[in-house]
Structure 1
Amino acid sequence: MSIKVSVIIPVLNAEKYITQCIESLINQALRECEFIFINDGSTDRSQQIIENYQKLDNRIKLVNQENQGVGIARNEGLLVAAGEYIGFVDADDFIDKKMYETLYNSAKRSDCDVVISNYESEIEEHKIITKYHFPNETTLHKDYIQEDILPYLLKEDNLNSVCNKIYKNKVVKEKNLKFPEKVPLGEDSLFNIRFFSIADTMEYIDYTGYFYREVKGSATRNIAGKDYFNRSIEVYNMKLPEVLLKKERVHKLRSIKLIKSVMSFIHIYFTPSKEQSFSTRFRYIERMISNKDVREALKVCYGDLMSNVGRYDKCILNLIKIKSTIGLYFVTAYSRYRNM
């Protein structure tokens, strides 16, 4: 069987959700797929569940390794991926039956290097579909990628995920593209910046086939184990591909992304949690809004953000500007109360 899409699934203690994930993969309308599970040192029944399904479907491959992180797990998958295109699924999530058929057919229509689709998030029982303003079902070339997609990746977080895309394997192999290793957060963003900086063609399709579940303990919720802010500072200061360094607005875009991240971290760290004491979270935010990179970024993009956000976010920005941690606490607490 000629493999059209290789799907890489890193797994770490996902026994609660992995059955739904596997079922959504093996029931894909596109049959010419392989499913590469990288068991990253799970200590629960995840490996056993995968092995049971492996006996029923020979498209399932399993690689076991000691716990080394998502980046290394995905890179192991890239080494063995044999499909024309590569997709990624997280073991907590699941996909629509037509997900890879839809993305693959879109890619083949114009031999695209990458296809982007929408995704649905379920966060605390609220469902949100993330869509994009890019031209729909249109082949977009290098000039559009460099003028619109790469700056968007620098400015926004909602295009970071590799899970709502498929990538041409030939490009990945020829350019030896890999995920950064031993990175606790943000590996998707770095991979995408590297891929899109060399991609020649892409398509966006207004289709939602990926269903993201944010669970306690995941990378985006584990405030005790993940230093969100430090990772954002590293991304803010990271060396960019040559094509991006030539753009005059790059520094402003990076500044906007950092400040937006800080605003979201303030909400995360001021949300009541048993993982860390209130005083620990309060001091964390205090250090964050006093950080020299944050102060520099705020100066660069304050005017742009203030003209494009609502009254609540303007209040948050002003409190960051005057370094009022106690003010941020009361404003976010009131917001949570209003939204209950």
Structure 2
Amino acid sequence: MRIKISVIIPVFNAEPYLAKCIESLLNQTVHECEFIFINDGSVDNSVSVIERYKQIDARVVLLEQYNQGVSAARNKGLQAAKGDYIGFVDADDYIEADMYESLYHTALKEDCDIVLSNFESEIDGHAVLTAYPFPVNQVLNKAYISQEVLPFFIKSDELNTACNKLYRRSLLQDQGVQFPLQVALGEDGVFNMAAFSHADRFVYMDYTGYHYREIIGSATRNIIQKDYFQRALDVYHVELPSHFKAILAEESISRLKAIKLIHNVMAYVHIYFKPTASLSVSKQIQYIQTMIGAEEVRKALPIYKKEMKLTLNRYQKVLLYFISNRSWIGIYFITAYSRFRN
């Protein structure tokens, strides 16, 4: 059987969600697939779940590695993949039955290197759709990628995920595109920036087939172990690939980075001020004060205000006012009001 699509699924202690993920893969309306699961040192019964489905369907492939992280797991899958195109799914998510047929049909019809689609997130019990400001169902060429898509990666995290895309395998292999190791945050973004920078043609489909599941309480539960703001600063300071500097002026890169940083700050205040037993109120206040007082934030705020003032809604303007004035009390009450309204 000629394999049309290789789907790569890294697995680490995903037992509660794994069966639904696997069944959504096996139910794909395009049959010529292989589903490459990479067990990354799970200590629960994830392997047993995969083995059970492997006995039922020969398209299930199981590879093993010892807890090297999601990037190493995906790279191992890339090395083993045989399909014409490659997709990625996280083990606690699930997809619609026609997702890969829809993306693959478009890839073949338009001879695309990459096909992009929307995705739906389940956050606090609410469905949130992520879509993109690109022309729909049109072949977008290298010039458009350079002028619109690559800058989008610098100013926003929304395009980072690899899971709502289909990639031509030969593009990834010929250009040596892999996920970076020892990157604490944004490995998907680095991978995608490299893939898109080498792509000649891509299509954005106004289609939603991927369902991202937020593990309940994950953000606030891990707030002590994962310093989200420090990670945002790491991304802010990271050196971009050389081809970006050939495409964009240093001033433009700095401007786009400033927009992303303040976007992140405005999102993180909700995480840090969300009621949780794992973090005391005094610690929450300390996090907020550190974040809004950071030198990088103070430097980025004027740039953000200038660039985004016409697109901000009333709530965002008020929140930005309190951040600008380093008022943690104002931030506390405005985020509490937002939670009440929602």
TMscore range, shorter length: over 0.9
In 2, distance between residues paired with 1:6 and 1:187? 20
**Structure 2 unaligned regions, length at least 5:** none
What is the deviation of 1:219? 7.0
In 2, distance between residues paired with 1:41 and 1:276? 29
Dislocated runs of 4+, deviation >4 Å: 217-221
Q: Which secondary structure state, in structure 2, belongs to the residue aligned with residue 16 of structure 1? A: helix
Contact map agreement 2:220 2:276 (CA 8 A) in 1: no
In 2, distance between residues paired with 1:217 and 1:91? 18
- TM-score, normalising length: structure 2: 0.95
Paired residue for 2:248? 247
Contact map agreement 1:69 1:184 (CA 8 A) in 2: no
Is the deviation greater in 182-191 or in 163-172? Answer: 182-191
Paired residue for 2:8? 8
Contact map agreement 2:124 2:216 (CA 8 A) in 1: no
Give the alignment's Cα RMSD to 1 decimal: 1.6
Amino acid at match of 1:96: E
In 2, distance between residues paired with 1:332 and 1:129? 21
Which of the residues 257, 261, 264 maps onto 1:261? 264
Paired residue for 2:193? 193
> In the TM superposition, what whole-angstrom CA distance separates every residue of 1:223-251 from its partner, at most 9, and x where no partner exists?
23322212211211222233422424222
- TM-score, normalising length: structure 1: 0.95
What is the deviation of 1:27? 1.0
Paired residue for 1:29? 29
Q: Which secondary structure state, in structure 2, belongs to the residue aligned with residue 209 of structure 1? A: strand
**Structure 1 unaligned regions, length at least 5:** none
Paired residue for 2:174? 174
Contact map agreement 1:41 1:66 (CA 8 A) in 2: yes
Contact map agreement 1:185 1:219 (CA 8 A) in 2: no
In 2, distance between residues paired with 1:217 and 1:50? 26
In 2, distance between residues paired with 1:297 and 1:168? 37
Amino acid at match of 2:248: K
Question: Given the alignment of the two structures, is residue 294 of structure 1 paired with residue 297 of structure 2, yes or no?
Answer: yes
Paired residue for 1:117? 117
Contact map agreement 2:219 2:271 (CA 8 A) in 1: no
Instruction: Sort the Cα spacing of 1:118 and 1:220 in 2 relative to 1 into closer, same or farther, 3 A.
Output: farther
Is the deviation greater in 329-338 or in 12-21? Answer: 329-338
Instruction: Sort the Cα spacing of 1:251 and 1:205 in 2 relative to 1 into closer, same or farther, 3 A.
Output: same
Paired residue for 2:18? 18
Paired residue for 1:92? 92
Paired residue for 2:231? 231
Amino acid at match of 2:146: Q
Is the deviation greater in 313-322 or in 217-226? Answer: 217-226
In 2, distance between residues paired with 1:72 and 1:220? 26
Paired residue for 1:133? 133
Amino acid at match of 1:335: S
Q: Name the count of aligned residue pairs.
A: 339
Question: Given the alignment of the two structures, is residue 311 of structure 1 paired with residue 314 of structure 2, yes or no?
Answer: yes
In 1, distance between residues paired with 2:287 and 2:50? 39
